Amino acid sequence: MDLELDDTQRMVRDTARAFADKHLSPNAARFEREEKIPREVLAELASLGLLAVNIPAEYDGAEAGAVAYALAMMEIARGCASTAVTMAVTNMVGEVIAKFGTDAQKERYVRGLATGQLVAGSFALSEAEAGSDPGSMRTTAEKKGDRWLIRGAKQWITSADFAGVFVLWARTSGPGTAGISTFLVPADTQGLRVSKHEDKMGLRASSTCALTLDDCELPEDALLGELGGGFKIAMMALDGGRIGIGAQACGVATAALDEGVAYARDRKQFGKSIADFQAIQWMIADSRTELDAAKLLVLRAASLKQAGALFSREAAMAKVYATEKAGLICDRMLQVHGGYGYTRDFAIERHVRDVRVSRIYEGTSEIQRTVIARAVLR
Ligand code: COS
C-alpha cells in the first residue's frame, strides 16, 4: 500500500474537508434539531462529486477510487455524521448498480445518483426478522408474465423518505441465500410505502424508516444482476459499505479528539490547564494512536478494493476496529469535557450518540468478527 496520497486523492479529501468546515461542522447541531439534512447540502455534495466518488466519469462520477472515497467520508463525517451516512449509502447504491447494472440501468440510476437528480439512494436488505441473517428474508418477488410482483416489508432503511431509488432484495425461489435476487425500485413505484420513522438515539438528521411493499409491480428489467445472485451482490456491496462506515467512525472520532484537545488546553483546574495532567494526556495519546491505526486499516481495505484484490476480511477488520475505537475515543473525550460534555452545549455528546450505531449497522461487530474468523480459519 502506498502511504502517500496522489493528487486526485488529496484534491477529493481537501474538497470534502473545506465543505465540512464551511457547511457541516457549524450546522450539524441544527440539522439534528430539525431532524433533516437540507436538500441544498445533498445537492452541493452531488455537485462536488461526493455522492459518486468511485463511479466512472462516463456516468458523471468523480472516478477517484475507493481510497479517495474513504478519505472524503472521514472528512464529511467529521463535519456531520448524519450527512456522512446519507453519502455512504448513496455511494454504495451507485457502486452496486455501476458494477452489476445493464447500460440502461446505469444510465438511469447511476447517472441520476451522481448528478443529484435522484437525491439519494437507499439500500433495502434488512427486515424485521432478518438483520444479521439476511438469508432468512421473507419479502418475495414473483414473476407474473413480464412483470415482477414484490410483496413484503423492509426495516432500517436509510434515506427511505427522500431517496429516488432503492436497491432491494427479495426472494425469487425457495429458502436460503441462493433464492434471493436484487431489484431496482424507483421511489414512485405504486404500492411502495415508507412507513415508520425510527426515533433514534443518534444520527437524528438522517432518516431511518421501514418500508412496506404491497404488490409492487415492476418491469422485467428491474432485476439487477442474475436471478438468484442477489445474496452475493448484497455481500459484495456490504464489503465496500463497511469501508465507508469504518471511515465514518474515524471522522466522528477525529472531531471528538479535536474538540477534546481544544477543551483540555482551555480548561483550568488546580491552577493549570487540564492538558498538563498525565491522566488527560494519556487519554489523548491513546486516542490519537488508535485513531491513526483505525485510519490505516480503513485505507488498507480501500486500497485493496481499488487494486481489485479480495478485501472482505480487511474491510471487516477495518470496520470492527475503527468503530469500536471510535466509540472509546468519543467516550474518553466526553470524560475530558467533564460535566460540560454531558450537556448539549458541546458537540461531544452528539458524537457519542452518533458513533454508537456504527458498531451495529452494515454488520454488527459480532458479524465482522465472524467474517474475519471464517477467513482466517478457512
Ligand atoms: N462476497 C461475495 N460472496 C460472498 C460474500 C462476500 N463477501 N460473503 C458470502 N458470500 C457468498 C458465499 O460464498 C456463499 O456462496 P455459495 O453459496 O456459492 O457458496 C453465499 O454468499 C452464502 O454465504 P454464507 O453461507 O457465508 O452466508 P451466511 O448466511 O452464513 O452469512 C454472513 C454470512 C454472516 C457474513 C452474512 O449473512 C452477513 O454479512 N450478515 C450481516 C448482514 C449485514 O451486514 N446487515 C446489515 C445490512 S445494512 S444496515
Tell the CATH topology of 7-119: Butyryl-Coa Dehydrogenase, subunit A; domain 1 (1.10.540)
Q: Is residue 157 a contact partner of residue 173, using CB atoms and an 8 Å limit?
A: no
Ligand 1 center–CA 235 separation, angstroms: 5
pLDDT tens for the chain, residues 1 to 378: 778 999 999 999 999 999 999 999 999 999 999 999 999 999 999 999 999 999 999 999 999 999 999 999 999 999 999 999 999 999 999 999 999 999 999 999 999 999 999 999 999 999 999 999 999 999 999 999 999 999 999 999 999 999 999 999 999 998 999 999 999 999 999 999 999 899 999 999 999 999 999 999 999 999 999 999 999 999 999 999 999 999 999 999 999 999 999 999 999 999 999 999 999 999 999 999 999 999 999 999 999 999 999 999 999 999 999 999 999 999 999 999 999 999 999 999 999 999 999 999 999 999 999 999 999 999
Whether the CB of 312 sits within 6 Å of ligand 1: yes
Distance 133 CA to ligand 1 centre (A): 9
Q: Where in the chain is the domain with CATH 1.10.540.10?
A: 7-119
Distance, in Å, from the CA atom of 314 to the CA atom of 355, rounded to the nearest integer, reads 21
The H or E element containing residue 142 is: strand 140-144
Ligand 1 pocket test, candidate residues 90, 209, 232, 238, most atoms within 8 A of CB: 232
Question: Cα of 70 to ligand 1 centre, how many Å?
Answer: 23
Q: Could you give the 3-state DSSP secondary structure of residue 121?
A: strand
- Give the helix ranges, DSSP H, for 80-212: 81-100, 103-105, 111-115
Count the alpha carbons within 13 Å of 216 in the hemisphere toward its beta carbon. Answer: 28
For ligand 1, atom 37, the nearest C-alpha belongs to 133
Which residue ranges does the chain devote to CATH 1.20.140.10? 231-377
Residue tagged active-site, from 142, 259, 362, 366 = 362
Instruction: Say if ligand 1 is within 6 A of residue 370 CB.
Output: yes
Buried/exposed 269-297: b ≥16 CB within 10 Å, e otherwise: eeeeebbeeeebeebbeebeebbeebbbb
**pLDDT by residue (tens digit) across 87-145?**
999 999 999 999 999 999 999 999 999 999 999 999 999 999 999 999 999 999 999 99
**What b/e string do you get for 17-44 counting C-beta neighbours within 10 Å, with b at 16 or more?**
bebbeebbeebbbebbeeebbeeebbee
The reply to whether ligand 1 has any atom less than 6 angstroms from the CB of 361 is: yes
Is the minimum distance from the CB of 238 to ligand 1 under 6 angstroms? yes
Residue whose C-alpha cell reads 451495529 in the numeric block: 360
Q: Could you tell me which CATH number the domain at 122-228 has?
A: 2.40.110.10
Q: For a pocket test of ligand 1, which of 235, 242, 310, 319 has the largest count of ligand atoms closer than 8 A to its C-beta?
A: 235
362 given a catalytic annotation: yes
Nearest CA to ligand 1 atom 31: 133
As a whole number of Å, the CA-based R_g of the chain is 21
Does the beta carbon of 127 lie inside 6 Å of ligand 1? no
Counting atoms of ligand 1 from 1, which one is nearest the CA of 242? 44
For residue 223, what is the enclosing H or E element? strand 223-224
Q: Are 73 and 87 in contact (CB under 8 A)?
A: yes
Q: Tell me the best of 86, 139, 177 to mutate to test the pocket of ligand 1, counting ligand atoms within 8 Å of each CB and taking the most.
A: 177
Return the residue whose CA atom lies nearest to atom 22 of ligand 1. 177
May I ask the CATH class of domain 231-377?
mainly alpha
- CATH 2.40.110.10 residue ranges in the chain? 122-228
